[in-house]
Amino acid sequence: MILFTSPFWLLVTGFQLWMLVHALRSREWVWAFFIFIGSGLGAIIYYLTVYRSTPSSGFELPGAQSRARIKELQAKIHHLDNAYHHFQLGDVYFHRGRFAEAEKCYRAALERDGQDVDARAHLGQCLLRLNRPGEARPLLEGVMREKPDHDYGHTMMALAETLTALGEKDNALLYWQHITQNHSYPRAKVQLAELYAARNEAGAARAELKDVMSDDAHAPAFQRARDRVWIQRARTLMKQLN
């Protein structure tokens, strides 16, 4: 009885339930089973390998996310103060959803190297997340003119989202169509489906959503966790269309 009322075991049980709920919501049935039967070890492994690697917003950039990485980059900036380390720190903050801090880092990188295409692209994405699509647009369009498939299509996706936010849905549709012809990102397919649905093109929307859910069924755990925001949106829209 003392075992189950001790603060330590209450903390372990609470953490285990937290990870179990997350796994169930993400439809990670195998992980949920191991978390349920484990004494906390399964929950810890799930937290380190799946939960921490998943951007909660569904928007991603390359780069580490740990506090240790932030301190490491801050130390390098203190000693070297070059554009690359400011840019890397911006990516870390972006991934953690700290967009205001990311913006400062990207601008610091561009002050030191104004032609850096990666810094311009990621600053554009950051401004979009800060609900400033008008400022994001020229940055993203400039990168697109130089490198249409920059960041493996992620910059083009940000531009499509920017155009949607600015009310230019027809132009955004063309970009989404181009992206989905070359990539299978759920982020692109779901937003394309949403535009199709808004245009009363239910058949085209269902086709994109079916592709998303079919791919998800066979995706590895880390990918399913990463894309869970878009899978949920796909399921919600499919229910509305049926």
For residue 64, pLDDT over 70 is answered with no
The per-residue b/e assignment along 171-189, b for 16 or more CB within 10 angstroms, e otherwise, is: ebbebbebbbeebebbbbb
The model's pTM is 0.73
Question: Is 52 in a helix, a strand, or coil?
Answer: coil
Position 128 scores a pLDDT of 97
What angle in degrees, to the nearest 10, is found between the helix axes of 228-241 and 202-217?
140
Same domain assignment for residues 164 and 73: yes
Residues 45 and 91 occupy one common structural domain = no
Task: Please indicate, yes or no, whether residues 36 and 85 belong to a single structural domain of this protein.
Answer: no
Per-residue pLDDT band at 152 (split at 50, 70, 90): very high
Q: Are residues 154 and 203 in the same domain?
A: no
Q: What is the pLDDT of residues 5-32, one digit of tens each?
A: 566 667 777 777 877 777 776 666 777 7
Is residue 66 over pLDDT 90? no
The first and second tokens of residue 12, run together, are 């372990």
The total number of structural domains in the chain stands at 3
Closest CA to 62 of 155, 187, 185, 175: 155
* Alpha-helix runs per DSSP H in 47-82: 67-79
Task: Let me know whether 112 and 75 are in one domain.
Answer: yes
What's the mean pLDDT when you consider all of the chain?
Answer: 86
Closest CA to 152 of 121, 122, 183: 183
One domain, residues 74 and 163: yes
At residue 3, the pLDDT reads: 46
Q: What is the CATH number of the domain that holds 131?
A: 1.25.40.10
Range of the domain at 33: 2-51
CB 188 within 8 A of CB 196: no
**Domain co-membership, 85 together with 7:** no
Nearest to 131 by CA among 171, 104, 103: 103
Both 107 and 68 in a single domain? Answer: yes
Task: Compute how many other C-beta atoms are within 10 angstroms of the C-beta atom of residue 116.
Answer: 18
Give the model's pLDDT for residue 52. Answer: 58
The closest of 202, 180, 181, 197 to 189, measured between CA atoms, is 180
Is there a single domain that holds both residue 108 and residue 168?
yes
- State the burial class of residue 163 (Cβ atoms within 10 Å of its Cβ: 0-12, 13-18, 19+): buried
Pick from 73, 72, 97, 15: which is nearest to 48 by CA? 15
User: 225-237 pLDDT, tens per residue?
Assistant: 888 899 999 999 9
Side chain identity at 60, as an amino acid letter?
E
Sign of dihedral through CA atoms 66, 71, 75, 77?
positive
Residue 57, domain member (yes or no): no
